[in-house]
Structure 1
Amino acid sequence: MKLFYLLLVLYVARSEGHNDFPHLRKLKYQTDPSIQTAAAQDVIRRLIPDRADEFNIQVYPRLATDDKDVFTLVTDESSGKLNVTGNTGVVATWGFYHFLKYHCGCHVSWGGKQLNIPVPLPTIKAPAHKMVSNDAFRYYENVCTVSYSFAWYNWTDWENHIDWMALHGINLPLAFTGQEAIMQRVFTKMGFMQNDLDGFFSGPAFLAWFRMGNLQRWGGPLPQSWINDQLVLQHRILNRMRSLGMIPVLSAFGGHVPANITKLYSNVNVTTLRNWSRFQPPYTGTTIIDFEDPLFAEIGRKFIEEMIKEHGTNHVYATDLFNEMRPKSSNITYLKMSGAAIYKGMVSADPDAVWLMQGWLFQDSDFWKLPQAKALLTSVPLGRMIVLDLFAEVSPLWQRYNSFFGQPFVWCMLHNFGGTMDFYGDIDSVNVGPTKARIFANSSMIGIGLSPEGIYQNYIMYDFMLDQGIGSSPKNISEWVSGYAKRRYGVVNKHVDKAWQLLRSSVYNCTQGTSDGGWDVVYTQRPQVNIKVEILWYDPQMLFYAWDYFLKASDTMSSDLFRYDLVDVTRNCLEILIYKYYKTIINAYKQKNPVLLQTASKALNEMLMDLDMLLASDKHFLLGNWLEAAKSLGYTDHEKKLYEYNARNQITLWGPNGEIADYASKQWAGLVKHYYGARWSLFTDMLQDALRDNVPFNQSKFNERVFNEVEQPFTFDRSLFSTRPRGDSKLLAVEMYMKYRPLS
C-alpha cells in the first residue's frame, strides 16, 4: 500500500508539473511525410544496401502520442519484410535501428559498424511492437563540438553523421555551420568594411568561441572561400536534416560586434567585455552592444531575417549570453533586460521564435544566485526559451533553479571537455538522472541531450545515454553492458564481457563529481616538477585486469571494432604507467639519484615511442587525419597553410602563447612522438643537467625553451603525417602487454 501511494504521489507530481507548452507544438517537422519516408529509406540504403529492400518504411504523423514520438515494428506475413512506421522520418529511422540493435544484435557508432544481420530477418508478429519516446526531444551537440570535432567536416562527413543522428532518434540538432556568411551580409549592409570583419572573424578552428563572444580575430583572417563554402554546406546539412523531419537549431545574434562600431554609429552604447581565459587583446576584450540600446534588437532582427531569407526556419534559435564571462552588473533589471533584448530581436523577425540557451553560465553559482537566474530565465514568456541543463550528469541545475523557473529544459550529458580521449564516465548518474528530473515536482523537462565538447571517445557512454530516450529507466547496467559488448563485436565472448564489466565498475563509475578534461593524463601536459594528477576515481588495477581480459579475447577476436578497443584499452593502460614513470623521475631528481633519474627518463621516453607506434596501427588515432582534413578545405597554398596552422594550434597551444595549452590534447600517433615526446625528452634532459650541475631545475627556463624549441615550431611546421595505419594492432598490443603489464 505504501508503494502504491508513493507511485501515486510521483504520478500526480509529474502530471501536475508537466507544464503544457503549446508554443513548442509549433516546433514540428515541415516536410511532407512522403519526403521523410524517402529520406529514411535512403539512410537505410546507405547503411545496408544489400538488405535495404527487406524493410518497408512509412511515416504517419498521427502516430504521435501526447507530444511523444512513436514507432511500430511488425513483420509483413506475406513478404517477410519488416514494416517500420514512425510519426516522422527520423523516428522511423530510429525504429529501424532499434530493430537492428535489439532484435539483430547490430551496432553503429562513430568508431565503426557491426552489421551481421540474420538471414532471414527475425520475425515480429502482430500486434506490432510499439515504442513511445520518453520525451518530446533528443537534442545533440555542444556549441564547441563544431570546432573540436566538426571543424574540417566536408559533406561526406556530415552525411554520415546525420545518418548516425537519425538512427539514434536525434530530432533537435544544432546547425551552426556557415553563419559567418549571414553575419557578413548584415554587417556589410550596416556599413562595415571587409577589413573590419577580417579583424573580427576568427580562424576556422576557433569559430565556436568567436560566436560566443570570447574571441575575435585569433586564427584568422577567415578566407572568403571558407565563408562561401560553409554556406553551401549548411544548405545541404539543413536540407538533409529537414528531409528526415528533424528540427535544426539555427544561430541568433548574441550582441558582439566589430570594435569600430562607434565610428559608424556614434550614439551607440557599447561595453568592452573582460578578457577571456588567458587571452589578451586584440584577440579578446570583445565589443558588445548594450542590451538597452535599440541597435541591439535591430541587429538581432536583421540577423534572423537574413537567416530566414537564406535558410528558412524551424523557429528555434540558439545564442549564449555571458559564456564564461560575468555580466557587468548583477542588477535584476539589467539581467532581465538582457534576455528581453535577445528575445525581442528574435520575435521581431520570427513571431514564433524560441530561444535555445546553453545553461553553462549558471554553473557560476557565486554570481547566478536565484534572483539573478530567475531574472534572466523569466525575461521571456514561458515556453519561448529552451534551457540545456548542459552538465546534468555531474552538476545538474534543474533542482537548484526549480526546473529553471518553469522554462522547458533538456537534461544533457556533457561528459567530455576539449575532445580529450582518456576513459571516463558516470554511467550510474546517467542511468537515474533523467528519470529523477522527469518526476521532479513541477518538472518542465522536455527532452534529453548529448552535449560533449568533442566526440570520438568513450562511445559506450553516449550509446547508454541515448537509450535513456526510450524504454524503461533505470536500466540494469550490467545486463546492458553485456549486451553492448555482444552488439559491438557481434559475438559473445566471456573474456570481453568480463573486461567491459570491469571498465563499467571502474573508469565508467566516476560518482564523486569529477569532470573529465584530460587533466589526469600526465604525458599530454607540459612537463613540470609538480604536476598534480592524483585525481583518479578508480583503482588502476581494475583497468589492468580489463586489459588482461582483452588480451585473452584477442586469441579469437579480430573485428575492426575489437582492434580499435584493444588499442584504446592498451593506450589508457600505458597512460597510467607513464604517470608511474613520471613519479619515479621526480623522486629520483629530488633524492639526487642520477642513475635512477637517467634510467627512468629513458624508460618514459621509450614508452612514449612505443605508444606512438601502437596508435599508428589504427586509423582512429592518426594525427594525419586531422591535418589532411583541414588542408583539404583550402584552395590555395595560403589557405591550406592557414587551416593547418589552425588545426595544429587548437590541439596544442590553443592560442598564440599557449593561453589554453593542452586543453584539447589528443592521443594521436605523430602528436605523441613529435610533440609530447619532444617535450618530455627536453624536460628529462634538463632535469639531468640540473642534477649534474647541482643547481635547481629552472621551470621558467624550461617553459621558455620548450615553447621556442618544440611547441611553437610544431604549430608552424608543415611536415606530413600519415593517414594510413601501419603495423598489426593485435600484435603490437600483445607486444606492449608483454613488455609493460609486469610493471603495473
Structure 2
Amino acid sequence: MRKLINREKLVNNNETILRKENLVIDTEAQQNSAEQLVKRILPDHYKFFDLKISNDVSEDYFIIKDAGEKISLEANNPVSIASALNWYLKYYCNCHISWNGNQLNLPGTLPKVGKTISHKAAFDLRYYLNYCTFSYSMVWWDWERWEKEIDWMALNGINITLALIGQEAVWQNALRRLGVKEENIFKFLPGPAFLAWGWLGNFDGWGGPTTQNWINDQKELQFKILARLRELNITPILQAFIGRVPECLKKKFPEAKIDQLPGWYGYEGVYFLDPSDPLFKKLNKIFIEEQTKLYGNDHYFAGDVFHEIESPLTGGDYLSSIYKGIQEGLLYADNKAKWVLQSWTIRDENIDALDENHVIILDLYCDSEPKWKKTNAFHGHPWVWCIINNFGGRTGLGGRLKHVAKELNKAVKSDEKGKLIGVGLAPEGIGNNAVLYDMLTEMNWNNEIENVDEWVTNFSKRRYGIESENTKNAWLKLLDSVYTGPKAYPPLESVICALPSLEINKAGSNGCTELYYDNSILIESFESLTKEIRKLSGEITFVHDCVDITRQIGANTANIIYEKIVVAYKSKNVESFKKLTGLFLNIINDLDEVLNSRESFSLSKWINDSKRKAKNEEDLKLYEWNARRQITLWSSPEIGEFHDYANKQWGGLLRDYYLPRWENFFVRLNGSLENSHDFNQDEFRNDMLKFAVEWSDKKELPKNGKQPDSIELAVKFVDRYKNIIESLQLMI
C-alpha cells in the first residue's frame, strides 16, 4: 500500500518544526524490512512476532501487546518496530544486544506482556556517529559488520546517521569532470585510516595515496549501507561541499579566490575556495550531482567550517559571510538541503547568518561542555543534544551515567532549550562502555530515567540473562567508580600507552591518566562478577566484561606503580627502582596475555581486518601501514600533537609496541642511577620516534601461543595483583 501524505512535524511540547514534506510511504516495503530485521535478530523465534506498520507519520511510536500465541509489535516505521522488539527483549526476556556480543537466551514460549505497552518518541531526531568513528572504529569493516551495526541502530531507535563511506568515489568523479589529472586526485585523497580528517578539511593526502581498489570497494559497500538504511527508514547524512579543494585547482582557476589555510597542528594547510567566488556554486553543484548519481539524495548534508584551524581572515562579519555562502551554495545545488553542523568549532556570532529552516546543529559534547547554554540555544536554530564519551577510539572504561541522565532531563525541561529536536551519540570510537549508549538511546522512549541505580540493576540482568545479587553489586560498583567520570576528555588512559617520561599525565592529546576513583572498588566489582563463573562462563557478554574490567584494573595498577617508580628514581633508591620497574613490566606482559585471549581485545584483529580488504600487494602495504600508524604515531614524527592519540590497550600491541619503549626507558634510567649521570629525555624521545616509524613499516604480527580460557587468565591476573598496592608501601 502506498499513501501520499503531507505533514507538519510537531515535536518537543508542540514546538513546531517547519518541515512540510510530501512523503510516499510504502507500508508493504517497510513491513518487509521490519520482518527481515526481526528474522536476522531472532532466526529461531521471528515467527512468534506479529508486525504491523501503520500509516501514522505524525510521530514515532510503538505498541506491544499479546496476540494469542504471538507478540504483536505495532509502529509507524521499521525503526520503531525494531525499538519495540528491543524493548520487549530487554524488559520481558532479559535479553541484550550490544557491540560486545548478544545475550539472547529466549525461552521456548515467549513471555506475555499482559497490559498493552505503548511508548512515543521524545525526540524527532535520534542521531548517530562522528566523523572520527569512520576512521577509528569502522575503517576496516565489511558488509557483514555493517549489517549488524545498522540493525543495532534500528533497535536503539536511531533514525538519522552520518553515512560517509565511499566519499572518495564522489571526489574522483567530481574532479574528473573538472579535468583534474588522476595523479592530482590521488594526491588529494587521504589514506584509508585518515579519511575522516580529509572530509573535515584538516589535510590532504596524509596516509595515501590510496588505491583504485579501495575507492571501488568502498563505493560498493556504501551502496549496500545506504540501501539498508533507507529500507529501515534511517536517514543517511551525506557529505556537503564546504570549500576544501585540491591545490591544483588554484593553478587551473587562477582568478578564483582559492587560499591556503593555516596548517592543522603542523600539517600543510589545505586549499579553500571562498563561497563568494562564482566557482564555489559551480563546484558545489558538480559535487552534489556526482554524489547524487552514486548514492541518491536524502537532503541532509554534513560538513564543518575551518575545523580546528584558523580562518584566512578574522572577524565576525567575514566568518558569517562564509557560513552564509556555504549554505547558499548548498541550497543552489539542492533547495531542500539541510546542513548538519557540528558545534565543535562553530562560532556563536555566526549562527544567525544561517537559515534556521535549512540547518541542524549538533551540540556534540553535552556530556561535558554543552554549547547550547552559552549560545542561547543556538539562537533559536534546531539543535541536537549529543554526547561524545570517547576520543581516539581509546579502550578505557568510563562515562558519566548519572550526569548524562540528569543533564538531558534538565535540557528537555528547560524553558531556554529553544528548538531542541533530538538526542545523539557522537563517539570518536565505539565498542566499549555499551551501558552508557544503551541508557541514552532508551531515554528517547523512557523519557526520564531518574533512578540510574535501578536502571543499571536491570541492565545487569539482561546483560547476562540472570538475576543475581553478585552481578547487580558488580555493576553498582562500576556505576559508583568508572562510570562517575572522568571530567577530562574520556576515557581514562594508562601510562602504559604513553611515551615514557618522568612527567606523565596523559598518553595522547586531551587525555588523562589521573585516577578519579579507588582502584580497589574495581577489584571488588570483578570479584563480585566472577562469583557467577559457573553459571555465566559461556556467555560472551560475561567473558567480555571480565576481560575488560581486568584490563582496566591492570591499566590502573600500572598508573599507580608508575608514580612509585618516579619517586624511587628521584630519591635514587636503586633497589626499589629495580623492583618496581620489574613489576611494571610484568604487568604489561601478563595483561597482554589476558587481552590476547580475546580477539576483540587484540592487535591481530585490527591488522588482519585491514589485510582482508586488500586485493593485491599495493593494497596490502598501504592498508597495513595505515592500520599500524593510526594507533601509534598517527602523524609524522615532527607533529607531536597526535602521537599516541589513538592509543589502545590491546593484546599484542602492549607486548610488541609499548613494552619495548618502557624496557628501553627503564634501562636508561637505571644507567643514569648507577653511573650518576642525567637521563636525556630528548635523546630517548627521538629514538622512540624512530622505533615508531619502523614499527609502522613492519609486516609480521607477534606470535601467540594457544591461549587458556580468558576468564581463567583474568582471575589469575587479578589474584596476582590485587594486593600489590598495599605491598608497595613497604618498598619506598
Q: 1:92 aligns with which of 74, 81, 84?
A: 81
Is this contact kept in 2: 1:184–1:197, CA < 8 A?
yes
For 2:724 and 2:281, locate their aligned partners in 1 and report how far apart those are by CA, in whole Å.
Answer: 63
Cα shift at 1:676? 0.6
For 1:19 and 1:297, locate their aligned partners in 2 and report how far apart those are by CA, in whole Å.
Answer: 34
For 2:635 and 2:604, locate their aligned partners in 1 and report how far apart those are by CA, in whole Å.
Answer: 21
For 1:638 and 1:72, locate their aligned partners in 2 and report how far apart those are by CA, in whole Å.
Answer: 53
Q: Counterpart of 1:352?
A: 336
For 2:221 and 2:25, locate their aligned partners in 1 and report how far apart those are by CA, in whole Å.
Answer: 20
Q: Counterpart of 1:522?
A: 495
Matches within 5 A, 1:131-142: 131-142=119-130
For 2:125 and 2:365, locate their aligned partners in 1 and report how far apart those are by CA, in whole Å.
Answer: 17
Matches within 5 A, 1:560-579: 560-579=540-559
Q: Counterpart of 2:425?
A: 450
For 1:274 and 1:612, locate their aligned partners in 2 and report how far apart those are by CA, in whole Å.
Answer: 41
Cα shift at 1:30? 5.5
Matched, 1:399 2:373: yes
Q: Counterpart of 2:653?
A: 671
Cα shift at 1:166? 1.0
Matched, 1:731 2:712: yes
Q: Counterpart of 2:297?
A: 313
Cα shift at 1:560? 1.7
Q: 2:111 aligns with which of 117, 122, 128?
A: 122
Classify 1:51/1:16 alpha carbon distance in 2 versus 1 (closer, same or farther; 3 Å).
closer
Matches within 5 A, 1:525-536: 525-532=498-505, 535-536=514-515
Residue deviations 1:68-96, cap 9 Å, x none? 3111111212xx11111111111111111
Is this contact kept in 2: 1:29–1:247, CA < 8 A?
no
Q: Counterpart of 2:273?
A: 289
Q: Counterpart of 2:468?
A: 493
The 10-residue stretch of structure 1 (302-311 or 155-164) with the greater mean CA deviation from structure 2? 302-311
Q: 1:335 aligns with which of 319, 343, 354?
A: 319
For 1:303 and 1:464, locate their aligned partners in 2 and report how far apart those are by CA, in whole Å.
Answer: 38
**1:531 partner amino acid:** I
For 1:389 and 1:545, locate their aligned partners in 2 and report how far apart those are by CA, in whole Å.
Answer: 37
The 10-residue stretch of structure 1 (403-412 or 299-308) with the greater mean CA deviation from structure 2? 299-308
Matched, 1:642 2:628: no
Residue deviations 1:285-318, cap 9 Å, x none? 1111122212122211221122122222111111
For 2:131 and 2:712, locate their aligned partners in 1 and report how far apart those are by CA, in whole Å.
Answer: 40
Is this contact kept in 1: 2:128–2:161, CA < 8 A?
yes
For 1:312 and 1:650, locate their aligned partners in 2 and report how far apart those are by CA, in whole Å.
Answer: 31
Using the size of structure 1 for normalisation, the TM-score is 0.92
Classify 1:31/1:714 alpha carbon distance in 2 versus 1 (closer, same or farther; 3 Å).
farther
For 2:620 and 2:400, locate their aligned partners in 1 and report how far apart those are by CA, in whole Å.
Answer: 40
The 10-residue stretch of structure 1 (424-433 or 327-336) with the greater mean CA deviation from structure 2? 327-336
Classify 1:485/1:723 alpha carbon distance in 2 versus 1 (closer, same or farther; 3 Å).
farther
Q: Counterpart of 2:217?
A: 229
Residue deviations 1:143-190, cap 9 Å, x none? 110000000111111111111111111100111110111111111111
Q: 2:101 aligns with which of 112, 136, 145?
A: 112
Q: 1:20 aligns with which of 16, 20, 40?
A: 16
Cα shift at 1:632? 1.0
Is this contact kept in 2: 1:415–1:452, CA < 8 A?
yes
Secondary structure at the aligned position of 2:344 is classed as helix
Classify 1:22/1:714 alpha carbon distance in 2 versus 1 (closer, same or farther; 3 Å).
same
Classify 1:313/1:548 alpha carbon distance in 2 versus 1 (closer, same or farther; 3 Å).
same
Cα shift at 1:721? 5.1
**2:597 partner amino acid:** S
Cα shift at 1:112? 0.3
Residue deviations 1:319-351, cap 9 Å, x none? 111211132334232122111222122211211
Secondary structure at the aligned position of 1:469 is classed as coil
Matches within 5 A, 1:158-173: 158-173=146-161
Cα shift at 1:507? 1.1
Is this contact kept in 1: 2:669–2:679, CA < 8 A?
yes
Matched, 1:684 2:684: no
Q: 2:40 aligns with which of 41, 46, 50?
A: 46
**1:715 partner amino acid:** S
Q: Counterpart of 2:722?
A: 741
For 1:197 and 1:610, locate their aligned partners in 2 and report how far apart those are by CA, in whole Å.
Answer: 47
Matched, 1:56 2:56: no
Is this contact kept in 1: 2:100–2:540, CA < 8 A?
no
Is this contact kept in 2: 1:517–1:663, CA < 8 A?
no
Cα shift at 1:554? 2.9
Cα shift at 1:494? 1.3
Classify 1:671/1:654 alpha carbon distance in 2 versus 1 (closer, same or farther; 3 Å).
same
Secondary structure at the aligned position of 1:480 is classed as helix
Q: 1:381 aligns with which of 344, 351, 355?
A: 355
Using the size of structure 2 for normalisation, the TM-score is 0.93
Is this contact kept in 2: 1:619–1:725, CA < 8 A?
no
Q: Counterpart of 1:73?
A: 64
For 1:233 and 1:317, locate their aligned partners in 2 and report how far apart those are by CA, in whole Å.
Answer: 19
Matched, 1:585 2:569: no
Matched, 1:466 2:450: no
Cα shift at 1:722? 6.9
Is this contact kept in 2: 1:186–1:303, CA < 8 A?
yes
**1:448 partner amino acid:** V
Q: Counterpart of 2:193?
A: 205
For 1:610 and 1:144, locate their aligned partners in 2 and report how far apart those are by CA, in whole Å.
Answer: 31
Is this contact kept in 1: 2:126–2:159, CA < 8 A?
yes
**1:698 partner amino acid:** N
Secondary structure at the aligned position of 1:435 is classed as helix
**1:292 partner amino acid:** S
Runs of 4+ in 1 over 6 A off after TM superposition: 14-17, 722-725
**1:504 partner amino acid:** L
Secondary structure at the aligned position of 2:341 is classed as strand
For 1:544 and 1:505, locate their aligned partners in 2 and report how far apart those are by CA, in whole Å.
Answer: 13
Matches within 5 A, 1:602-613: 602-613=582-593
Is this contact kept in 1: 2:565–2:577, CA < 8 A?
yes
Residue deviations 1:521-545, cap 9 Å, x none? 1111110011125632223232222
**1:422 partner amino acid:** G
Q: Counterpart of 1:101?
A: 90
For 1:353 and 1:30, locate their aligned partners in 2 and report how far apart those are by CA, in whole Å.
Answer: 18
Classify 1:530/1:675 alpha carbon distance in 2 versus 1 (closer, same or farther; 3 Å).
same
**2:272 partner amino acid:** I
Is this contact kept in 1: 2:523–2:718, CA < 8 A?
no
The 10-residue stretch of structure 1 (440-449 or 215-224) with the greater mean CA deviation from structure 2? 440-449
Matched, 1:214 2:202: yes
**1:484 partner amino acid:** F
For 1:446 and 1:118, locate their aligned partners in 2 and report how far apart those are by CA, in whole Å.
Answer: 39
Matches within 5 A, 1:411-450: 411-442=385-416, 443-450=418-425
For 1:463 and 1:262, locate their aligned partners in 2 and report how far apart those are by CA, in whole Å.
Answer: 48
Secondary structure at the aligned position of 2:362 is classed as strand
Count of aligned pairs: 706
Cα shift at 1:606? 1.1
The 10-residue stretch of structure 1 (321-330 or 720-729) with the greater mean CA deviation from structure 2? 720-729
Residue deviations 1:244-277, cap 9 Å, x none? 1111111111111111212110101122111112
Cα shift at 1:454? 0.2
The 10-residue stretch of structure 1 (248-257 or 469-478) with the greater mean CA deviation from structure 2? 469-478
Cα shift at 1:584? 2.2
Segments of 5+ residues of structure 1 without an aligned counterpart are 1-13, 363-367
Residue deviations 1:660-681, cap 9 Å, x none? 1111011111000000111111
Is this contact kept in 1: 2:260–2:272, CA < 8 A?
yes
Q: Counterpart of 1:265?
A: 253
Classify 1:125/1:738 alpha carbon distance in 2 versus 1 (closer, same or farther; 3 Å).
closer
For 1:85 and 1:16, locate their aligned partners in 2 and report how far apart those are by CA, in whole Å.
Answer: 23
Is this contact kept in 2: 1:394–1:429, CA < 8 A?
no
Q: 1:719 aligns with which of 700, 708, 727?
A: 700
Is this contact kept in 2: 1:172–1:248, CA < 8 A?
yes
Is this contact kept in 2: 1:29–1:242, CA < 8 A?
no
Cα shift at 1:31? 5.8
